Amino acid sequence: MSQITGCRQAAATRLRRTPARRPSPTFRPSPADRPDHSPRRAGRRLGLVGVLLAVTSMLVGACAGSGTDDGVTIVDGGNTGDNGLHGVVPADRQAEPTLNTLTDVNGAPFDLRARTKGKITMLFFGYTNCPDVCPTTMADLAAALSEVKPDVRRQIAVVFVTTDPDRDTGPVLTRWLRQFDASFIGVRGSFDQIQADAESLGVPLEKPEVQADGSIQVAHGSQVIVFSRDDRVRVLYLAGTSVQNYIDDLPTLTAERSGPEPRT
């Protein structure tokens, strides 16, 4: 299926699906948190390397606008319904990267596999000045994690890699992520390193562009990539995934010892 939407529209869709009893009350964007972006380019399309995740087409989100109705094309493809999961299940399960060229919010060397060993890892690429899909996705994950049983919650790690490292310093990332959940892990590095890691996972990422008016435009894929305990991709969640979908799926994911056998 395909859907034409912009980041703000995708975020609104997700919010409409959110249950009434929604946690994460601490997230209240202040004027300082709001983006200073220029209008997004109408009909912008970003291609995804489907071979890497064996998904024909996936989600592309361009968090680059100031609220116009112009959007980007979102295409949802791949296998769904595996084990009742609500995301896109890739045919080939790519290995989890180490991201060892990046650092944590304190500037210490980072190793994704070591930091999340034994847990189900939910990885997202975004930035703190994102107007819509980034904060909404983090709020939805926080809401879902606060609803599942504690033994399920303990087995989940959420990792946020900034796509705007010049502005997202360690303190900025820490402060922003704490609005959602203090356990969320922030990761940063040089843009070139982040872009290489993102694109190796099939997540498109364009360098932040400074516009004539001084605003900054950023375009990036907005899927949540989930890795099983065997350090391989298990499922992909696209923008618009509801809090209830996450609540339903997380117990299934944590109950799996390592994920399904790779498909041939």
Binding-site residues from annotation for Cu cation:
130, 134, 220
Residue 154: count other Cβ atoms within 10 Å of its Cβ. 12
Who's near 32: CB < 8 A, 6+ residues apart? none
Q: Which residues are annotated as a binding site?
A: 130, 134, 220
Q: How far is Cα 155 from Cα 151, in angstroms, rounded to an integer?
A: 7
- DSSP string covering 80-147, please? E-GGG-SSEE-SS-PBPP--TTSEETTS-B--HHHHTTTSEEEEEEE-TT-SSHHHHHHHHHHHHHHH
Phi/psi-derived region of residue 241, left when phi > 0, alpha when psi is between -120 and 50, beta in every other case:
beta
Tokens of 95: 């290995």
Q: Where does 107-260 show beta strands of DSSP type E?
A: 120-126, 156-162, 185-188, 209-210, 216-217, 224-227, 233-237
Q: Which residue has the tokens 């099983």?
A: 228
If phi > 0 it is left, if psi is from -120 to 50 it is alpha, else beta; for residue 260 that is beta
Beta bridge mates, 124 = 160
CB-CB contact of 219 with 206 (8 Å) = yes
Residue type, 177: L
